[in-house]
Amino acid sequence: MLLVDIDQIQRDLSSYGWIKQVRVSRQLPDKLFIEIGERKPVAVWQHDGNYKLLDDQGKVLESISEGEIGNLPVVNGPNANKQLVSLGELLDKAQSLKSQIAGATWVGNRRWNLRFKSGETLALPEGEELAAQALVNFTRMDGIHRLLERNIIHFDLRDPDRMYMREAPADAKPLSESW
């Protein structure tokens, strides 16, 4: 038992993506204790045609197939995984819409486009404060005017003074049927 390299075991176990924290200890004469804390997947990062599970800090856990995504939101765009914490903080400001988010795209390494489960896209301005303010305003407007699940496919809030909306083409199926 004295020859067991506890530090090496801890380093080896820490190298696995799913392991968040590990503690290794020994109890002489013959016991080795290993405590492991797992990371939990909260999103899927779609990048370069691959899908990777992410934890709440944006750490890649493992690659998965498209069929394994399930109900997890999908983020895409270069470095979208590194922005997952800020996306979570942004969505926390709009609790009533948070459960309706299907995914998000990190655009130009500076701002988010949100995709709703009902099919609409919401373009947010760059900057954490402006994006949060725009999302809170959109949440309030949706609460009053029921903007989602109508005949609008795109909301653009990048201009702080206006909201631009794009309607679905007249011959298109309703958004709720196309998803």
pLDDT tens track for 26-63: 888 889 999 999 999 999 999 999 999 999 999 999 99
Query: Strands 74-76, 101-107: parallel, antiparallel or unpaired by DSSP?
Result: parallel
E runs forming strands in 28-177: 31-38, 43-47, 50-54, 60-64, 74-76, 101-107, 111-116, 121-123, 152-156, 164-167
Residue listed under structure tokens 């949060």: 132
pLDDT tens track for 74-92: 999 999 999 999 999 999 9
Q: Phi/psi of residue 131, each to 5°?
A: -65, -45
pTM of the predicted model, to two decimals?
0.80
pLDDT tens track for 118-152: 999 999 999 999 999 999 999 999 999 999 988 89
Instruction: Report CA-CA distances (Å) from 164 to 70, 124, 150, 157.
Output: 32, 11, 15, 7
